[in-house]
Amino acid sequence: QGDIALIITISSKLSGTWQSANIAAAETGGEVYIVDSLNVAVGEKAIVEYALRMKDAGTDIHTIVETLNHEKENLRLIDGIAPGLLSLCAVFGIYKYLQKGGRISKTVAIAGNLLSIKPVVSVVDGEVALLGKARGSRQGNNFLIQQIQKDGIDFSRPFFLGYTGLSDALLQKYISDSAE
């Protein structure tokens, strides 16, 4: 009907969504643009928010797509925080998901849980990558703060805090501990 569609997908290296979107777009015959976010969850949300800001500012679709494809390279995850199109990574307290996904062995998962070792991961080039390890939540948070200080944050760009759990007590503690 003459509408323009912009589709922003989860990383093509982690899902077949990007490929499926391309197949569907080819069948529509319409004006459809597809951007592989090379990210997941809150990181993908930051890219979507950036696209919406450009759209609301009157930016044309070609510039939006070109900008997203360039700027997505500057986005990383940090501890469930998408601090902007410049920084984002995650500390996992539970190893079972890394073990189930084949990223670590069952032995490493058990040892990590027993010793309270927190793997610090990021999405790098569209894939989950280990940045380092920290023993305990405080050292994990310190590691993340160092990553933020190293890379900086551009607060003029979209940034988000993401958290899952039954209580936000750990999130509130992180915010308090990381106020600076």
Mean pLDDT of the chain: 76
Tokens of 69: 């494809």
Closest to 119 in 3D by CA, of 107, 103, 106? 103
| Whole-model pTM over 0.85 | no
Angle, vertex CA 86, rays to CA 38 and CA 56, nearest 5: 80
Helix, strand, or coil (residue 28): helix
At which residue do the structure tokens 């936000």 appear? 168
pLDDT band at 83 (very low <50, low <70, confident <90, very high): very low
Give the separation between CA 69 and CA 136, rounded to whole angstroms. 37
Tokens of 135: 């023993």
Task: Say what the pLDDT of residue 114 is.
Answer: 59
pLDDT band at 69 (very low <50, low <70, confident <90, very high): very high
pLDDT beyond 80 at 12 = yes
Between residues 62 and 158, the one the model is more confident about: 62
Helix, strand, or coil (residue 80): coil
pLDDT, tens digit, 9 for 90 and up, residues 44-60: 888 999 999 999 999 99
Tokens of 81: 């925080």
Closest to 40 in 3D by CA, of 114, 116, 124, 102? 124
Give the separation between CA 146 and CA 148, rounded to whole angstroms. 5
In terms of Cβ atoms closer than 10 Å to its own Cβ (0-12, 13-18, 19+), residue 142 is: middle
The partner residues of 122 in beta bridges, in order of sequence, read: 89, 129
